[in-house]
A and B are shown apart, each in its own frame.
Chain A
Amino acid sequence: MNQAKQNKAFILDYFNAVSGTNKTPELLAQYVTDRELIDHIIFFDGAFPKYEVFADEMTAEGNRIVVRARFKGRHEREWHGIPASHRPIVFTFIIGYEIQNAKIVSHWLVADQMVLLNQLGFEEVLAAQ
């Protein structure tokens, strides 16, 4: 199996392990050494507990892999000053990983925050103020 295929299998395993569960530092440490990514995941799992992630498309080359993915969760706790709305949230994000020795060592992420904020009712929150 070449490196790109191995990395796709690794990322699918990682997504399956963290999706729909409590994302603890111990669980994440099995797959990720990138501290910024770990903190980001724990921050989102705090506001959207046990959120799910689905990989819709993967493109891999060498030690890099880009995933077009969906985030699915419920807004159960305060997020960036927005109180829990208990709304279901689904949005697309694109994440690139660098993988070394079966660990994610760095990442970048692009998501359309506007989609998320609209689903949280942020515009209504602003309008009410």
Chain B
Amino acid sequence: MNQAKENKAFVLEYLNVLSGKEKTREMMAQYITDQELIEHIMFFDAAFPKYEMIVDEMISEDNKIMVRARLIGKHEGVFGDIPPSYRSVNFPFVVTYVIENRKIVSHWLIADQMALLVQLGIEQGVAEH
């Protein structure tokens, strides 16, 4: 299996382990050394407990893998300064991981905060175009 395929299998395993469960530091330490990513996941799992991730697309090249996915969860904890709304959210994000020795060592992430805030009832948003 080449590196790109190995990395896809690794990331699918990682996402399956985390999705729909409480995301503990012990669980994440098996897959991630990137501390910023761990803190980010802990922050979101506090606001959207046991959130799920659904993968729509993966593209892999050398030690990088790009994942286009959706976060599905319920807003049951404090998110920033927004109290729980108990609304369901489903929004797309794109994350790229750099993988070394079966660990995520760095990442970047983009999501549409506006789409999230609209679903939380905070913003009206603008028309899609």
Contact = CB atoms under 8 A, between A and B. Distances in A.
Contacts of B115: 113
A112 B112 contact: yes
Contacts of A100: none
Nearest to A39: B129
Contacts of A92: 110
A110 B111 contact: yes
- Which DSSP category, helix, strand, loop or mixed, fits chain B's interface? strand
B110 to A, nearest CB: 5
A113 B114 contact: yes
A80 B108 contact: no
Nearest to A115: B113
Given A59-B66, A110-B92, A113-B126, A96 B112 contact: no
A110 B66 contact: no
Interface in B15-44: none
Contact of A66 (B66, B92, B126): B66
A96 B67 CA distance: 11
Given A59-B66, A68-B96, A112 B113 contact: yes
Interface residues on A, range: 20 to 34
Contacts of A40: 129
Interface string A44-71: 0000000000000101110011101000
Nearest to A108: B68
Contact of A96 (B4, B68, B129): B68
Contacts of B110: 68, 92-94, 110-112
B50 to A, nearest CB: 24
Interface string B97-128: 00000000000101111110100000001110
Nearest to B92: A110
A55 to B, nearest CB: 14
B117 A114 contact: yes
B79 interface: no
A68 B59 CA distance: 13
